Amino acid sequence: MGAQIHHLETNQRNPGTAFHPEWVEGIRINRSAVERRIATLAMRRTVKKQWQAAWLLKAISLIDLTTLSGDDTPGRVRRLCAKARQPVRADILDALGMEKAHLTTGAVCVYHEMVPVAVEALAGSGIPVAAVSTGFPAGLSPLETRLAEIRASVAAGAREIDIVISRRFVLCADWQALYEEVAAYREACGEAHLKTILATGQLGSMTKVAKASMICMMAGADFIKTSTGMEAVNATQPVSLIMLRMIRQYQHLTGYKIGFKPAGGISNAKTALQYLALVKEEMGNDWLNPDLLRFGASSLLGDIERQLEHFVTGHYSAANRHPMG
């Protein structure tokens, strides 16, 4: 992978590095080995009973509770923010002995237009607002427009910015252009954290996913994220494994820890548990916290709450007993 930068053990924010093409030139992915690793994980790692309930509570704290619909309204966003503040019904938390845990979701994710509404609704909660930006989901608006959108969302109070990369740079292997684009996004973010969406289902190969991940981290990304949730193929566990391995490699090269956000298609508790097991085995317990792991999801929370009620009562309730708003 080329010369290694002086290794730092740090929890500081990733400042990015100079452009190192040699860090990506040698990356190759063995697809069959990746798929075999995921298959063995699914067979070996399950949690049951009170341990499952504990893992599901952890998963809630990692959710970026999201609404990205053309028919979003201020009322819908306020209701979503109320759910983020109290993601599980009080009677269920009481039964679990978690009534004083101050459990919340990791963030609320909205379009720029709804950032001020979400910021006001979450005031005093400590829950950050994340804004999707840069012409989400296609990312094909003019660069200056994309940068202006980032700055506007930060000015409106967004503490996290989820950007989309220009997929054409990956498909054409123009790594310098991708690096410069993401570095410009990082500069526009200022103090807000940058989550880079790769849209992995559109990148053509696992090797390209790996290389794009490394370039984004080099350019200063705080998180790398699988998908917009609007592609034909969104988060998958094989792709997630590759991205986690690249995060590990970047930490080896620089000492900086980068966050991971799978998004799209993670809609039930069982799938969330599989991702938690994958992250724990690949990255260790340090990554099982909102600073380094998020789930991009809208319907996941309802299913987790339903599973927790089943643990408490022994019965499944209807999904409409666990509304998002």
The residues annotated as belonging to the active site are 162, 225, 261
What does the block give as tokens for 271?
A: 């799938």
The sheet that has 259-261: what strands, in order across it? 259-261, 223-225, 193-197, 160-164, 129-132, 107-111, 63-66, 295-297
Contacts of 32 (CB under 8 A, 6+ apart): none
Q: What is the dihedral of CA 253, 257, 263, 267, to 10 degrees?
A: 130
Picking from 192, 193, 146, the residue whose alpha carbon sits closest to that of residue 166 is 146
Dist. CA 324–CA 62, nearest whole Å: 16
Name the helix (H) or strand (E) containing 32.
helix 31-44
Dist. CA 208–CA 224, nearest whole Å: 14
- Give the Cβ contact number of residue 179 at 10 Å: 24
